[in-house]
Structure 1
Amino acid sequence: MKAAEPPVPGLRQPGERPAPGPADGVSVPGVATPSSTGSTPSPAGAGIRGKRNAGALLPYLLIAPAFVAIAAVFVWPLIKTVIMSFQDVGRRELWTGDPAPWVGFEQFTNILGDGEFWDVVWRTLLFMVACVVATMGIGLFLAQAMQRMTNWVRLALTGALVAAWSLPLLVATSIFRWFADSDYGVVNMVLTKYLGLDFRGHNWWLDPKQGFLMIGAVVVWGAIPFVAITLYAALTQVPKELEEAAALDGAGAAGVFRYVTWPVIKPVFQMVATLSVIWDFNVFGQVFLMRGNKPEPEYNLLGLYSYEKAFESNSFSQGAAISLITVLLLSGVAVYYLRQLLKIGEVE
């Protein structure tokens, strides 16, 4: 028989259990264990964590300029408006920078106790409601009509809507002022020549109701493109098979719209209507430009009323207080709009 070879030092023999080491939590002389040296990370691990921290901060660094711009354009003017509404700022304080005296709620008390202010508020509300109803009605009609058009006609109409939407306000008001001109206006010519009505030399601005009809036409004309295109996009999301199934079950056009189409487009419709409320409540340029930069008191809306108090009556604090009241009146609408956005985000 062959004699067994002596064991070689350092090599584990068959059937022999490995000796305990640092991996088993046993302290071996001369060998450092994690428990004895602590949990000091390696340079490679520290570099990886540093890159992760930098990557987490990168989105905030990218949007920081936008936050700074928003704060400079919106937040700081709002803070200044709030401060001015509790002061009595005149031309001397505005030009020299001298500190204005604090009057507390005196500006708000004077405004809320003025009957003219409430007349302007009710006029603004009525004008806003009329414009929003007309805008949403015509916009929804155009959106539904676009579904039944051929591709080329729909493309042409979309281009016309976008062109009308992008038209500068100064140009649009100049066109509508020409339409309503008493001597050469298109409206008077059409009513006289084609409808047999006597509107030759008719002045639309003598009666504020007729004047606001022309101003409302400018507002609605400028808002319809956004509403129509947005609602058309919402209508394209309505399943056609559901509409066909409802029609086969005997539902008419009104029934299909009520029970199939409307539930799908309702969130978008509410969002666009809320935006229209905010925009039409703050109408300023259309009235200001249509009346030749000098609106009569009968044409004052809240934005114009604030401007008149601040820059024509030199009561800057009253103008700031009226602006702040307008913001408070619209805050509920803004909260509702944000809730609609959150609901749409949850559905998606």
Structure 2
Amino acid sequence: MTATANVTMPAGEIPPASPRAARAGKRRRGRLGDRILPYVLLLPALAAILVLLAWPLVQVIGISLRKLDIGELISGKAVWVGLDNYTNTLADPQFWAITVRTLVFTAALVAATILGGLLLAVLMRHLGPVVRTILQVTLILAWATPVIATTTVFQWIFDEQYGILNKTLDRLGFSGFIGFSWFSSGTSTLTVIGLLIVWQAVPFVTFSLYAGLVGVPQEQYEAAGMDGAGPWQTFRAVTWPSIRAITTMVTFLSVLWDFNAFAQIWAIREGGPDGESTTLAVVLYLKGIAGNHFGAAGAIATLMLILLALITGRYIQLLVRTPEGDLK
């Protein structure tokens, strides 16, 4: 039998909790703290996002619902027009033509950038140390050169009278390029601008993909070779799985950057000739800053944001579903 001791407690005193109950209470408090801690750590970043992104977005949407020209801006009057800015923009056939041009232009730039970066990253993995270092330095210099400086160089290269490209083509036997203007049509102008943007975007993609490639153990390539896999089979079975997530990330970033490209387009021909190289970013500038129609510009900016959200919706969905950010 087990003896039970009778303990007499003084009147008015609370009996002490058992050690088991104390440990359970500590565990509950510990679990609660573990659940709250991540949100507490996220508060500074969340506050920064709200101040730097969410509030300006709310402001833009508010501006898009107003008639805000230079007169209203100076007088401070709030003239609310509802969705008139949106309906006027969507009813303009030129807006839809520019939207299609922007989408095609963005798709071509992203495809060329990712393909060029992927080829250079694979090439860098197979080059010797000296040649690889030279290539990396060259890419860094192309990446670090200011946009306006690079744009000026491209204008010199493609100049119809003094450009080195026309002179080189002439010496190669293509005499038809003497005095040829690369900026006479919207298609050729956008081609030159696209080459300029790709030239500056490829280095970032190359280094990002190369960082993923160097993490693949050499033993996997050796095993693929022993199994009789060819170059394409090795790339599909070994290389691609290791860089698929990084490729998705840089594709997403390229879409954002190329869709909003403005400096190169404006510096080359200001959207010309005759507006044939105008994109949505240029229209946003012409309506807002140049035309002082800030309400209409706010509507265009909001529509651009919605369009970008639709384009990148799949990436955002994957990012939200996987807490670790694994895009596989």
Normalising by the smaller structure, the TM-score range is: 0.7 to 0.9
Query: Percentage identity across aligned positions?
Result: 36
Letter in 1 for 2:15: S
Aligned partner of 1:120 in structure 2 is 98
Distance 1:334 1:347 in 2: 13
Using CA pairs under 8 Å that are at least 6 residues apart, name the structure with larger relative contact order, 1 or 2: 2
Secondary structure of the 1:198 match is: helix
Q: Deviations over 1:117-172 (max 9, x none)?
A: 01001100111111111111111110011001112322232222222212211111
Distance 2:317 2:199 in 1: 28
Aligned partner of 1:162 in structure 2 is 140
Instruction: Choose the corresponding residue for 2:64, options 78, 82, 85.
Output: 85
Distance 1:28 1:274 in 2: 70
- Give 1:195 deviation, angstroms: 4.7
Q: Deviations over 1:217-249 (max 9, x none)?
A: 111011100111111111123333232222222
Kept in 2: contact 1:178–1:185 (CA 8 A): yes
Aligned partner of 2:8 in structure 1 is 27
Aligned partner of 1:103 in structure 2 is 81
Question: Which stretches of structure 1, 4 residues or more, deviate above 6 A after TM superposition?
Answer: 56-59
Letter in 1 for 2:253: L
Kept in 2: contact 1:107–1:318 (CA 8 A): yes
Kept in 2: contact 1:93–1:99 (CA 8 A): yes
1:292-331 → structure 2 map (5 Å cutoff): 296-331=274-309
Aligned partner of 2:178 in structure 1 is 200
Kept in 2: contact 1:267–1:340 (CA 8 A): no
- Bigger Rg over Cα: 1
Secondary structure of the 1:128 match is: helix
Distance 1:36 1:339 in 2: 52
1:224-263 → structure 2 map (5 Å cutoff): 224-263=202-241
Distance 2:105 2:316 in 1: 24
Aligned partner of 1:45 in structure 2 is none
Kept in 2: contact 1:271–1:340 (CA 8 A): no
Q: Judging changes above 3 Å, is the alpha-carbon distance between structure 1 residues 169 and 229 closer, same or farther for their aligned structure 2 residues?
A: same
Secondary structure of the 1:35 match is: coil
Instruction: Choose the corresponding residue for 1:182, options 143, 160, 166.
Output: 160
Secondary structure of the 2:229 match is: coil
**What is the TM-score of this pair, normalised by structure 1?**
0.79
Letter in 2 for 1:265: I
Kept in 1: contact 2:101–2:279 (CA 8 A): yes
Distance 2:113 2:38 in 1: 42
Letter in 2 for 1:251: A
Q: Deviations over 1:160-201 (max 9, x none)?
A: 222221221111111111111122212212211235343222
Letter in 1 for 2:220: L
**What is the TM-score of this pair, normalised by structure 2?**
0.84
- Does residue 213 (structure 1) correspond to residue 191 (structure 2)? The answer is yes
Secondary structure of the 1:299 match is: coil
